[in-house]
């Protein structure tokens, strides 16, 4: 568009120039070789313009003839390159679709039409074709050859990393990922694998630097970076607790500042502060985390902040936690445990039952069993509560990749993933799924009348015994009036006493099996000291 406007402007300027000359008549005289030529000014201007145009055309023709060999070769070279790129494009599409034969065919065609040193994608297509054909050794050789080319080095490292992952060689995969992360920290796959390697060997400072690099390159969001830093700093604090308490305290406080509602960071920071006699600051950290989400580790550390406190002081601290988070099962359980230690069984029972109403779980029934054993020692009720605990939903725990841990860990023991542990209830047991309605009120079942068998149709058989002949008539009448096909006449103590000593012995009936929730008490166990039942 600009060129057209420029051309129109030139034509317009020429027209104005010729119009200006036409309005101003004049003559031009040229003397050449003894001859004198006289023309008007307009004719002279037209002649000059014609000569200039002729010179330009002549120069263009000479230049075209001179450059014609290069032009012809360039035409064929461009045509060849276009065919090569078309083959390369078709081969890449075939490789993405999984057509190994077509990908290999187009690879050979593209290699003939385009030089591989001019187009690195030919190496990638050749490696992809080898992978589709199952030639992993050839693909690895091709990826290794890419490491010599600075433009293809990251691509080669990526291919070698994937091959190492396929073979299950984690060390080799992390080696290639580490090299790629040094060259390009913005690569997500390299950074994640390197982060797993650093956390796996406990290099928390190196992991923190890598997370900071990810944050600076905007590879991860700010909130995600803060979460990762909090996890890494908490792990660092746990590792330095015994060797360097001051550095551990600094790391734990920074982790708690980044994520105040992160329970492991709050527990780590508060425990280090308590060891340095800073109870006030540690208690505030635990209170903030408790308001965000109650956790049993927070409650246990908060109530035992001062090891020398009396049981009533710990009970008061538990009540303070309950005031911060009312109508929560964990608050009630905390008060119930503290009340049990203080021998306030009424309060302990009331809070444990309240916790069951809010959130029915295993630890609440175990706590009730402890209370029942400490207060009454009724083993029957204790066994009943233990039976309910077995069938109750499980308590929340630290779970990662199917592994249940009593304590939080920064990485998964299965996959090595950072921040994999979650505080949640593990998978339910089969018994709980079957017997989950045990504590529900029993529904009223309508009674079904059994058919009455007529005495005339099937009279009852009465066994005559000389020792009980006196009550023969009364017993027969009672049997006829009350029995049917499925009813058994009870045997009284008088009947057993009246049996003669020389009568034939009868095999006793098979003893009824005991109920599964009442297996009985071993006399030897009754003499032992009662013990309390705990979840862990």
Averaged over successive runs of 10 residues, the pLDDT of the chain (536 residues) comes to 86 81 75 79 80 91 88 84 87 88 88 76 86 88 87 89 88 88 84 88 91 84 92 94 92 94 94 92 94 94 89 93 92 94 93 93 94 92 93 92 90 89 77 44 42 43 41 39 42 45 46 46 48 45
Residue 430: per-residue pLDDT: 43
Cα(148)–Cα(261) distance, integer angstroms: 49
Cα(469)–Cα(363) distance, integer angstroms: 62
CB 368 within 8 A of CB 400: no
Residue 475: per-residue pLDDT: 39
Residue 438: per-residue pLDDT: 46
The structure's pTM equals 0.63
Model pLDDT for residues 21-36, shown as the tens digit of each residue: 777 777 778 787 778 7
For residue 411, the SS3 value is strand
Cα(305)–Cα(308) distance, integer angstroms: 9
Residue 264: per-residue pLDDT: 95
Cα(412)–Cα(399) distance, integer angstroms: 9
Specify the DSSP element, H or E, that contains 57: helix 41-97
Label residues 153-170 b or e (16+ Cβ within 10 Å = b): bbbbbbbbbbbbbeeeee
CB 422 within 8 A of CB 293: no
Q: What are phi and psi of 504, to 5 degrees?
A: -70, 135
DSSP readout, 347-387?
HHHHHHHHHHHHS--HHHHHHHHHHHHHHT--HHHHHHHHH
Identify which of 130, 128, 115, 120 has the alpha carbon closest to the alpha carbon of residue 84. Answer: 115
Extract the tokens encoding 392: 């109750």
CB 439 within 8 A of CB 388: yes
């Amino acid at each position: 568009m600009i060129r057209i406007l420029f051309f129109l402007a030139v034509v317009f300027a020429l027209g104005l120039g010729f119009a200006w000359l036409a309005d101003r008549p004049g003559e031009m005289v040229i003397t050449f070789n003894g001859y004198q030529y006289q023309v008007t000014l307009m004719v002279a201007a037209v002649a000059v313009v014609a000569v200039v145009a002729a010179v330009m055309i002549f120069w263009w023709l000479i230049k075209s003839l001179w450059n014609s060999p290069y032009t012809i070769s360039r035409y064929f070279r461009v045509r060849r390159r276009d065919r090569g790129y078309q083959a390369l494009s078709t081969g890449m599409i075939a490789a993405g679709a999984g057509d190994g034969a077509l990908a290999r065919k187009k690879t050979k065609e593209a290699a003939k039409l385009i030089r591989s040193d001019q187009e690195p994608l030919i190496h990638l297509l050749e490696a992809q074709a080898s992978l589709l054909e199952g030639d992993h050794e050839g693909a690895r050789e091709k990826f290794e050859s890419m490491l010599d080319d600075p433009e293809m080095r990251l691509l080669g490292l990526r291919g070698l990393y994937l091959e190492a992952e396929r073979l299950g060689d984690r060390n080799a995969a992390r080696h290639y990922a580490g090299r790629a992360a040094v060259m390009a920290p913005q690569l997500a796959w390299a950074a994640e694998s390197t982060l797993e390697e650093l956390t796996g060997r406990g290099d928390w400072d190196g992991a923190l630097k890598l997370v900071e690099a990810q944050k600076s390159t905007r590879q991860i969001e700010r909130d995600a970076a803060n979460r990762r830093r909090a996890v890494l700093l908490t792990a660092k604090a746990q590792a330095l607790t015994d060797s360097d308490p001051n550095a551990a305290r600094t790391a734990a406080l920074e982790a708690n500042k980044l994520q105040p509602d992160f329970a492991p960071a709050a527990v780590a920071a508060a425990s280090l502060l308590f060891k340095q006699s800073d109870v006030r600051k540690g208690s505030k950290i635990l209170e903030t985390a408790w308001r965000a989400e109650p956790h049993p580790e927070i409650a246990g550390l908060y109530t035992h902040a001062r090891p020398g406190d009396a049981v009533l002081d710990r009970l008061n601290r538990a009540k303070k936690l309950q005031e911060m988070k009312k109508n929560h099962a964990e608050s009630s359980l905390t008060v119930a445990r503290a009340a049990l230690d203080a021998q306030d069984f009424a309060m302990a029972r009331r809070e444990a039952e309240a916790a069951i109403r809010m959130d029915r779980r295993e630890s609440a029934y175990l706590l009730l069993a402890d209370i029942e054993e400490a207060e009454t020692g009724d083993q029957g009720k204790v066994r009943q509560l233990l039976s309910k605990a077995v069938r109750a939903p499980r308590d929340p725990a630290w779970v990662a990749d199917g592994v249940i841990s009593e304590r939080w860990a920064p990485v998964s023991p299965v996959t090595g993933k950072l921040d994999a542990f979650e505080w949640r209830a593990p998978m339910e047991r089969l018994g709980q799924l079957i017997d989950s309605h045990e504590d529900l009120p029993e529904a009223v079942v309508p009674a079904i009348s059994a058919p009455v068998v007529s005495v005339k149709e099937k009279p009852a058989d009465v066994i005559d015994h000389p020792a009980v002949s006196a009550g023969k008539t009364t017993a027969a009448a009672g049997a006829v009036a009350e029995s049917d096909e499925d009813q058994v006449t009870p045997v009284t103590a008088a009947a057993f006493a009246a049996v003669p000593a020389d009568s034939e012995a009868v095999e006793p009936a098979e003893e009824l099996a005991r109920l599964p929730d009442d297996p009985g008490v071993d006399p030897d166990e009754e003499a032992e000291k009662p013990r309390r039942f705990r979840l862990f």
